[in-house]
Amino acid sequence: MISDNCGLNLLHPIAGFSLGTTCAAIKTPGRRDLVIMKLAKGSKVAALFTQNAFCAAPVLVAKRALQSGCTRYLVVNTGNANAGTGERGVQHAELTCQEIAKLTGVDVSDVMPFSTGVIGEYLPIDRLLKAIPGALSHLDEDGWSEAANGIMTTDTRPKGASVKLTIPTSTKTDDIDGPTRAVNGTLTLTGIAKGSGMIKPDMATMLSFIATDATVDAELLHRALRLAAEKSFNRITVDGDTSTNDALVFAATGCGDVIIDEGNFELFATHLEALCTELAQACVRDGEGATKFVSIVTTGAASQLEAKATAYTVAESPLVKTALGASDPNWGRILAAVGRAPIPNLDISKVSVSLNGTAIVEGGARALGYTEQAGQAAMQPTDIHIVIDLGRGESSETVWTTDLGHEYVRINAEYRT
């Protein structure tokens, strides 16, 4: 675990979005492990889910519920993934939604369930259902911090990010049928995430919930989320494993004074991407057993796809990751990873690599001025910046990852004990 500056006390409330957390004792007695989120009527919701073929039961139910277009409640349990549980798991997810619908008076299709934890075990459904009234009774627009704690599994700390910004918008004049006029309005974006291991999202994240008080139509909301995820959550890897339960949810309550349209969409999407990047990087910094936060930048690629594939090949090399964990500047492992990346007709004589600003490879071979002492010094900081220049184009990509050490093995070996 690497320290960062994420401050949960700075999570701004979102008008029309409240959160309640309670103890269901799903895995650990006394643990606050059930979170319910309530959305104002008329809110719009976009979501991205895991691409893992063995997706969890709540993912199946949430995808179906999303199609209703009328989401009012999100429910999240930790301690049990409800994955690999077959039809019984689907029934448990549906029962959870039915209980919330019964207690709140909404339609069952207005409730989306999410789970995280151990795969292959059945939910203790009776305990979960019994705890739902407690979570509902604690609903509060200031409930973000407790919710961030409530969705954790092997995380060592909660993760959240929040921003208030002034943005050009349009609004109606006093005459309801009159023209719109341009003004500046203030909107808020707040999000939380959980994730520490089994992290290599694919059009999603581990679990993350983001909300804004802006008015955003469904198409723009989904477009903004997909763009933001592609440059943030889809650029991280801790261990190369994509979870069965990944979900990224973005809700717009429309309770603020900003309307998002094509005129201000780009600015809105930029700030959403920045918030998603902060959350995604927080998950990497909290990677299981991590001691290094590593940025791997590929430049000079022939395409974005090539740049991304190269960065991921290096980021997920066990030999590179263990060298990083040992602070060993074993740059030959980086070259070997680049050499097996899916790059057609790579001219190795044009490849250069630097490590925290120290040139270690030039022209495909050891840099003339490189010394082992310089490499050792470059490996000491917690934050490591590796730049790989392929020398064959103008495209670049960045992937964020961690080192790999004994603590990662211990955490995962003891996960179910």
What residues are labeled active site? 205
Query: What tokens does 11 get?
Result: 């999570």
φ, ψ of residue 111 in degrees (nearest 5): -115, 130
Distances (CA, A) of 107 to 65, 77, 97: 10, 20, 9
Amino acid at 142: D
Measure the CA–CA gap between 141 and 157, rounded to whole angstroms: 21
**Which stretches of 286-326 are DSSP H helices?**
304-315, 318-325
CB atoms within 10 A of CB 392: 17
User: DSSP string of 328-367?
Assistant: ---HHHHHHHHHHSS-TT--GGG-EEEETTEEEEETTEE-
Lookup result for tokens 């719009």: 44
Q: What share of the chain is helix, strand, coil (3-state, %, to 5)?
A: 35, 30, 40
> Which 8-state DSSP code applies to residue 412?
H
Q: Which residue, 76, 72, 66, 65, is CA-closest to 36?
A: 76
State how far the alpha carbon of 231 is from the alpha carbons of 6, 71, 119, 224, 280, in Å: 20, 26, 28, 11, 10
Q: Supply angle C-alpha 385, 271, 41, rounded to 5.
A: 135
Give the residue carrying structure tokens 């409640």.
73
